[in-house]
Amino acid sequence: MSRGGSGGRTRVKTSRGRTAQSTRWLERQLNDPYVKRAKAEGYRSRAAYKLIELDERFALLRGAKRVVDLGIAPGGWAQVVRKQLPKAAVVGIDLLPVDPIEGVIIYQMDFMDDAAPGLLVEALGGAPDLVISDMAANTVGHPQTDALRTMALVETGLAFAIDVLEQGGTFVAKVFAGGADSTLVAEMKRNFTSVKHAKPPASRKGSSEWYVVAQGFKGRSAE
């Protein structure tokens, strides 16, 4: 590892057993201000700042009492929720193992499992007023396929939110370039008073990810 270039940028030398691609990834991580900030502030991932920035714009966390975190791993979003809402009930779910977070109930299981929605609501002790999702499908390297697979997760997350959210609640989900498709946006607009797309500054410029923010859930009678 060496320092060079303007501003003391850290450069990583390619070593035996490390591909050029992994070297570029490591160099990007070492020079990413959000990665450095996350380490300094105790967050598990730079993704924490995406939620912080979305909250600054949309006041997502204001007054929330029961929060569901879909795709919780590694836990950065849940950490933000706990820090800003210390009295809220928080439950998360992910296929991947997640180290414990104080005050957060975590299920390691597939969100698509039929039993998952009931477990999440039961753990909260009532209907959530905020459902946040940073879920993304494992990529296969084919952009259209990757987008479709992630959109399927967004659709499932939305269906869950519509089934369980408290009236006035909020649903936030990761989507990709172009945002949610028109059918999905129409479904959100039928059920929420406000639907907007946003790309928080913490989302890398080269990344195709965006977030859809649906606020003001109208209630089950809106279906």
14 and 69 in one domain? no
38 located within any domain: no
pTM exceeds 0.85: no
Can you tell me the mean pLDDT for 182-208?
90
Residues 131, 165, single domain; the answer is: yes
Q: Is 168 annotated as a binding residue?
A: no
Q: Which amino acid type is present at position 117?
A: P
Q: Is 174 a catalytic residue?
A: yes
Is residue 78 in some structural domain?
A: yes
Element (H, E) at 50: helix 48-58
Asked if 14 and 93 sit in the same domain, the reply is no
Residues 6+ apart with CB under 8 A from 185: 179, 195, 212
Report if residue 40 sits inside a domain.
no
Residue 87 domain flag: yes
Nearest-angstrom CA–CA distance, 59 and 172: 12
Please indicate if the annotation marks 99 as binding a ligand.
Answer: no
Catalytic residue among 36, 65, 174, 189: 174
pLDDT in tens, 31-78: 567 778 878 787 888 899 999 999 999 999 999 999 999 999 999 999
pLDDT at 6: 37
Question: Does residue 202 share a domain with residue 107?
Answer: yes
What's the gap between Cα 159 and its chain centre?
Answer: 17
| Pair 26, 123 in one domain | no
Residues 27 and 80 in one domain: no
Cβ burial, residue 115 (10 Å; 0-12/13-18/19+): exposed
Mean pLDDT of 111-132: 95
Give me the pLDDT at residue 223, please.
Answer: 46
69 annotated to bind ligand: no
Q: Determine the Cα–Cα distance for residues 134 and 111; give it in Å rounded to an integer.
A: 12
Q: What pLDDT, on a 0 to 100 scale, did the predictor assign at position 21?
A: 59
Give me the domain span that covers residue 15.
2-31
Q: Do 134 and 177 have their domain in common?
A: yes
Q: Is the pLDDT of residue 2 over 70?
A: no
User: Quick one: average pLDDT of 173-191?
Assistant: 86
Number of domains in the chain: 2
75 assigned to a ligand binding site: yes
